[in-house]
């Protein structure tokens, strides 16, 4: 009877065969609180517009914050900028004042340059000035007791400037020279006409002229024999010579003479290297 009673209370298809009945799990529920029911009646579009407005408000506040920060930085730097501008203005004013002073002193600078140029010209002129009186005394000593000058012509050319000469081969000595290989330096040339009793006196005259330090390369260009009113023979001759550096009022140094020779050599080398040079 008991067996049939179980079959009536529990259908067979609801029975779990081969499985033990699981133990019941206790679930803790929160304590019941009494409250009024809440219902959100705001539409979704309104809620979205409120959210967008909040985001925009955040952007506005952020922009205002950045603007305030930039303003504060500018205010802090403005004092330094104004100070630097004041210094710059002061420096520009000083520069303008100095420029005006320089312009005012421009005539003084021009005068100084003119004086410097004149000083250099006078120095060169004095250095190139020859002792004319001493040269004439040397010519008188060369003539001796037997030679009388009929005429003397002196031409001073000054210290040679080989770098400016169109003929470098004769830049150091522009006078006629009996020695074509001579390397003497002259500052002028002289020509003379004289009379002597015999040719021996003319030879002695040339020897004395050759030994004289004021003369360079003396030689006779022409000679003729004439008779005076008493029937005595007179030898008329003419010639030329260069005037050496010893005739200068201010003597050149060894370095200056060497520089002249080097300049002449350099100019000659350029003329040889240039086949178109005349």
Same domain (yes/no): 213, 135 = yes
C-beta atoms surrounding 261 within 10 Å:
13
If one counts the domains in the chain, the total is 2
Pairing state between β 148-156 and 233-244: unpaired
Q: How many CA atoms lie within 13 A of 51 on its CB side?
A: 6
Greatest mean pLDDT among 2-16, 173-187, 198-212 lies in 198-212
Same domain (yes/no): 145, 205 = yes
**Minimum mean pLDDT among 3-12, 59-68, 141-150: which range?**
3-12
Paired tokens of 173: 């000595």
90: Cα separation from own chain's centroid: 31
Residues 6+ apart with CB under 8 A from 198: 233, 235
Mind listing the pLDDT tens digit for each residue in 239-264? 999 988 888 877 788 888 888 888 87
Average pLDDT over residues 260-277: 62
Q: Is residue 15 part of a domain?
A: no
**Minimum mean pLDDT among 53-57, 121-125, 137-141, 199-203: which range?**
121-125
Same domain (yes/no): 93, 142 = no
Q: Is residue 151 part of a domain?
A: yes
pLDDT at 195: 92
Same domain (yes/no): 229, 180 = yes
Same domain (yes/no): 149, 99 = no
- Mean pLDDT of all residues belonging to the chain: 78
The domain boundary residue, chosen from 65, 87, 104: 104
Q: Is residue 90 part of a domain?
A: yes
166: Cα separation from own chain's centroid: 30
Strand order of the sheet with strand 215-227? Answer: 148-156, 186-196, 233-244, 215-227
Same domain (yes/no): 192, 71 = no
Same domain (yes/no): 147, 257 = yes
Q: Is residue 141 part of a domain?
A: yes
Backbone φ and ψ for 160, nearest 5 degrees, come out as: -65, 150
What single DSSP character describes residue 240? E
C-beta atoms surrounding 190 within 10 Å:
21
Q: Is residue 163 part of a domain?
A: yes
User: What are the E-state strand segments in 84-232?
Assistant: 148-156, 186-196, 215-227
Burial class (CB in 10 A: 0-12, 13-18, 19+), 197: middle
Same domain (yes/no): 190, 266 = yes
> Is the per-residue pLDDT at 51 higher than 50?
yes
Same domain (yes/no): 268, 168 = yes
- What is the residue range of 245's domain? 130-273
- Burial string for 112-146 (b: 16+ CB within 10 Å, else e) reads eeeeeeeeeeeeeeebbebeeeebeebbeebbeee
- In this structure, what CATH number is given to the domain that contains residue 182? 3.30.70.2830
Same domain (yes/no): 95, 214 = no
Rg over alpha carbons for the chain, rounded to the nearest Å, is 61
Same domain (yes/no): 77, 205 = no
User: Which element (helix H / strand E) includes 12?
Assistant: none
Q: Is residue 19 part of a domain?
A: no
Same domain (yes/no): 97, 190 = no
């Amino acid at each position: 009877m008991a067996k049939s009673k179980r079959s009536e209370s529990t259908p067979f298809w609801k029975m779990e065969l081969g499985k033990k009945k699981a133990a019941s799990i206790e679930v803790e529920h929160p304590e019941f609180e009494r409250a009024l029911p809440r219902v959100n009646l705001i539409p979704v579009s309104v809620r979205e517009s409120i959210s967008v407005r909040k985001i925009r408000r955040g952007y506005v506040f952020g922009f205002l914050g950045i603007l305030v920060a930039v303003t504060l930085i500018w205010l802090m730097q403005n004092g330094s900028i104004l100070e630097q501008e004041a210094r710059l203005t002061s420096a520009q004013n000083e520069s303008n004042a100095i420029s005006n002073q320089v312009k005012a002193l421009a005539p003084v600078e021009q005068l100084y340059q003119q004086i410097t140029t004149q000083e250099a010209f006078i120095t060169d002129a004095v250095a190139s000035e020859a002792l004319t009186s001493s040269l004439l005394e040397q010519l008188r000593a060369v003539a001796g007791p037997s030679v009388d000058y009929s005429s003397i012509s002196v031409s001073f050319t000054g210290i040679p400037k080989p770098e400016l000469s169109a003929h470098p081969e004769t830049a150091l000595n522009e006078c006629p020279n009996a020695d074509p290989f001579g390397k003497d330096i002259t500052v002028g040339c002289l020509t003379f006409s004289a009379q002597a009793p015999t040719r021996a006196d003319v030879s002695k005259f040339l020897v004395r002229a050759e030994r004289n330090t004021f003369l360079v390369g003396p030689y006779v260009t022409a000679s003729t024999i004439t008779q005076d009113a008493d029937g005595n023979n007179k030898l008329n001759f003419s010639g030329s010579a260069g005037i050496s550096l010893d005739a200068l009022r201010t003597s050149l140094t060894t370095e200056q003479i060497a520089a002249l020779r080097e300049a002449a050599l350099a100019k000659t080398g350029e003329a040889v290297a240039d086949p178109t040079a005349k």
